[in-house]
Structure 1
């Protein structure tokens, strides 16, 4: 077994590998850039080596710097994690020349499967079902348009060396094919140092289902079930689960056997994933093979009881797999929610800054038998950088069945506190409540179909509005009782806490009668419906449990001016609890209108403006590309909302902007 492993990566996956290595008694080495000097993976490792400036092109993907770190520390093996150099054949070859073990597949498998064009040819030869497309290299945008037209729209434009949604675009017409080709090339070159592009047919109403494979150096290869990864935005997975709610045993076996056949065809060993697109009739088509560990591997671990990182390490050390295909049993159901530093209220645009609060739910097995797991690489007070992937954490839950796992996830998200940056936690909570998700009716177009106008938050129905009103009234009652105790008695007079209140949630108003109880409050609504609210909330607590008639709710609480901000299950509301007279007068107050920004183009995210496509005096048309902003390794094309004339361009290409900084004005 190895004595010391260097992890050629950062963030949560580096922390993940370190945890397993420590359990196996193996020393660990972290590498870090300027932006990661105080990162969690640096703190967790036994040793840490500085490798350069913040951009990954100057640090994490510079092979010579990784090799130098290996020489300095005497590591005898390297785990690449995912992304960066994990599927870089040149890196694996360089390690081999140095006599260092690469904890991953052989170079030939990386070369064959890392190139998506080659991999599809090999898959076809191995009798694996493949998607129609153009497997040759494409020289320019005009050739991309001709090929797309011949295949038939819609098409998927993809980086040959890509992964993680980088260098990938869907085109529905010639204009999108032309623009998508160039953006894909730019992203591919920036992220992977390889700008080769290919095009294939985009299967409509598809499910993205992948098979986890595992092989050793002794010819043993098997599959560990599947993962459903259909809920995606910008072609990047957001919610995954294992197994899939769609597959039957016959399809699972067929997909697994084809995945194993492909792995054997390239002499694969280690833990990898064969990805498929599956249509509504359970026809499946090979998409690509990721020879590395996948981001979503924890859900497979939760239903199989295996540690895939441990298996990778043992295989790399030359050990034979200790089990066979017949020993693989799928137990229960697991869900993974990827918590990203992306603002769902702003079309999931990246957010950067300091985590002023980061309090994940407690990990482990709960009293109801469910399991909570949270893989992360951040901590409270840490910074989310603009240089890397915006992932904050991967929250996972396990239950004996899908419904239980989903409900456990909903509760765990309620208990997860993140402040200081924009994040997608309310979006994840909202998905968990949707009937379509709970029924397992998923496709890769799920987000676009369910949130046609973008994510605007969850509007509470009447039942949920009543619950939140009762919570706010209980909080108000506690505050009033506390104020009464603090004020004490002056002469013969003591502050009296009233019983009649109006709780207002936007345009909803609930007249109630309330009073304190031993463990919270009782609340009676005007229609005579009454509830008891037991809670552990005290002033200053930002997360508390409220049991409404013994039904528990984990609610985030903030006192905002005269209001009480409550966040629960994707709902984010400010409730104002007033006396009846004050509530009556408040309804007469005029509403404050937001500032008019209709003639401005504001930067939608922190990032670097890489292109200004117009100049002052130009007339632009609706939908025309006018600027490009790069953030967290993704290009974002900004388009004109309507026909207008450019009055002023406020910045130049290359400028680093904060969110809502002015880019240009229109007449």
Structure 2
């Protein structure tokens, strides 16, 4: 077994590998760029080596610097994590020349499976079912148009060396081909240093289901069940679960056996994932094989009890698998939510900045469930524009799927992140979505259910009652502890005031106290309309998370102080609350409403990023839908289009310029 390994990665996956290595008694070496000097993985590792500037192309993607760090520290092996150099055969070969072990497959398997075009050829030869498509490199937009016409629309344009949704576009018709080809190739070049793309048939109503395999150097290969990864946005996975609610045992077995056959065909060693697209009739087609650890590997670990990182390390050290296929048992259900630094209310555009508050839910047992949080950040850490926007991977396990989903909802409601925008509200609302809970999924789920994007939601009667009860209980607990609020809280007789009005955004809700006292622990009967709710909580003023019971509901909500009130976040709802006396509510209704500024004649930068191109000139007439500019952030290119017919007035930005959020790119006449 190795004495010391180096992790050639950053963020949560580097921290994840360090945890297993530490448990195995193996010393660890972290590498870091200028942007990651104070990162969590650097703090956790036994040693750390600086390898270059913030851009990945000048640090994490420079193989020579990784090798130099190994020599400097005496690391015997390298775990690549995922992304960066994890699927570079040349990196694996360079390590071998230096006598350093690559914790992953051999170069031949990486070359065969890491390239999407070549992997499909191998899959065909191994008699694995594949998606119809063109297995050659697409030369230009005209070639793409010709091939798409032969295959039949819709088609998927994909980067050959891609992954993580980068370099991927759907073309529904001929008009989509040229722009889709250019964007896919440009993203592929900037993300992977390889601008080759290919085209395959796009399966309508597809489900993305993948098989986890483990293989050693002694010819042993097993599959560890499947993961459903159909909840995707822009072809990037958002929520995953294991097992799939769609597969039966026969289909699971067939997919697993084909995955094992493919792994054996390329003499695969280590952990790997064979990805399939599955249609509505459970026909499955090979997409690609990821010759590395997957982001979503924790859900497989939770239902099998197998540490995949440990198995990778043991296989790389030459040990045979201690597992046979008969040893693999799937127990319970696991769900993973990817927390991203992105604004769900601005079409999920990236957000960067400092985490002024970061309080994830407690890991471990939570009733019948288990909570796990894989993260690479901490309170005070910086979310950089140079890397993937993932903050954490929150996972829950429970005996059944609905229990795992309920546990995830509670965990998300208590996951406090401040300082940047993030997708927790979207994830929390998704856990209550009927179609998700019923398991009626496809990779088009988000586009179909949120065609206009994710917008602030308005609570209904039951939800309003819960939010009003939380707001009132918090206000009374807070007021009761302050002597100078006693007059407001109590009547002249000394009894607690009975009648209140809770304002939620623009709604005024009458509330009445029936019985109880506003101390901690708090228990009181509250009438909201015709409904009487017993409210119980041990929340104390200043705590960001309110937890307790409202009626028959277990409630976890987040409270953030506002002027004369609180902002309450719960199940994807975010409302501003005020607790008022009836007289104060009358006066509040008379207050003028401040209108937002008019930005209709401005193109604002929707996220901090780099201006890739300006597509128009001053004085140019532009039609609705035409491209105005392209901005890149966190390795993704975002095309900004005209929302209406307009005339360009003044252009304020130029290509290559870094802009802050809401910076004015151009003005319209």
- Which sits farther off after the overlay, 493-502 or 371-380? 493-502
Aligned residues of 1:484 and 1:497 also touching (Cα < 8 A): no
Aligned residues of 2:128 and 2:262 also touching (Cα < 8 A): yes
Q: Aligned equivalents of 2:86 and 2:414: distance in 1?
A: 34
Aligned residues of 1:613 and 1:627 also touching (Cα < 8 A): yes
Match of 2:267 in 1: 267
Aligned residues of 1:137 and 1:197 also touching (Cα < 8 A): yes
Match of 2:617 in 1: 615
Match of 1:43 in 2: 43
Aligned residues of 2:370 and 2:398 also touching (Cα < 8 A): yes
Match of 1:119 in 2: 119
Identify unmatched segments of 5+ residues in structure 1: none
Match of 1:20 in 2: 20
Match of 2:658 in 1: 656
SS, match of residue 422 in structure 1: coil
Per-residue Cα deviation, 1:89-114 (whole angstroms, up to 9, x for no partner) = 10001011111110000100000111
Aligned residues of 1:512 and 1:523 also touching (Cα < 8 A): no
Alignment pair present for 1:511 and 2:510: yes
Alignment pair present for 1:639 and 2:641: yes
Aligned residues of 1:8 and 1:81 also touching (Cα < 8 A): yes
Instruction: Quote how far apart the aligned CAs of 1:23 are.
Output: 0.7
Structure 1 residues 345-494: aligned runs within 5 Å? 345-366=345-366, 368-484=367-483
Per-residue Cα deviation, 1:529-559 (whole angstroms, up to 9, x for no partner) = 3222222222211112132236321111122
Alignment pair present for 1:74 and 2:74: yes
Match of 2:557 in 1: 555
SS, match of residue 337 in structure 2: strand
Q: Aligned equivalents of 1:496 and 1:323: distance in 2?
A: 68
Alignment pair present for 1:256 and 2:256: yes
Aligned residues of 1:531 and 1:549 also touching (Cα < 8 A): yes
Structure 1 residues 443 and 493: alpha-carbon distance in aligned structure 2, compared to 1, 3 A threshold: closer
SS, match of residue 9 in structure 1: coil
Per-residue Cα deviation, 1:498-535 (whole angstroms, up to 9, x for no partner) = 32111122343221222652532535436443222222
Identify unmatched segments of 5+ residues in structure 2: none
Aligned residues of 2:479 and 2:486 also touching (Cα < 8 A): no
Match of 1:52 in 2: 52
Structure 1 residues 469-618: aligned runs within 5 Å? 469-484=468-483, 498-514=497-513, 516-517=516-517, 519-520=521-522, 522-525=524-527, 527-549=529-551, 551-618=553-620
Per-residue Cα deviation, 1:185-238 (whole angstroms, up to 9, x for no partner) = 111111111111101011010000000011000001111000000000011100
Q: Aligned equivalents of 1:556 and 1:167: distance in 2?
A: 37
SS, match of residue 162 in structure 1: coil
- Which sits farther off after the overlay, 616-625 or 473-482? 473-482
- Which sits farther off after the overlay, 24-33 or 142-151? 142-151
Alignment pair present for 1:286 and 2:323: no
Aligned residues of 2:526 and 2:535 also touching (Cα < 8 A): no
Aligned residues of 2:624 and 2:641 also touching (Cα < 8 A): yes
Q: Aligned equivalents of 2:506 and 2:567: distance in 1?
A: 15
Per-residue Cα deviation, 1:100-157 (whole angstroms, up to 9, x for no partner) = 1100001000001111111101101111110011111111122112212221111111
Q: Aligned equivalents of 2:99 and 2:528: distance in 1?
A: 78
Per-residue Cα deviation, 1:37-95 (whole angstroms, up to 9, x for no partner) = 00011111111110000000000001111111111111110000000000001000101
Q: Aligned equivalents of 2:593 and 2:150: distance in 1?
A: 55
SS, match of residue 161 in structure 1: coil
Q: Aligned equivalents of 2:297 and 2:130: distance in 1?
A: 24
Instruction: Quote how far apart the aligned CAs of 1:487 are.
Output: 6.4
* Alignment RMSD: 1.7
Aligned residues of 1:600 and 1:664 also touching (Cα < 8 A): yes
Match of 2:170 in 1: 170
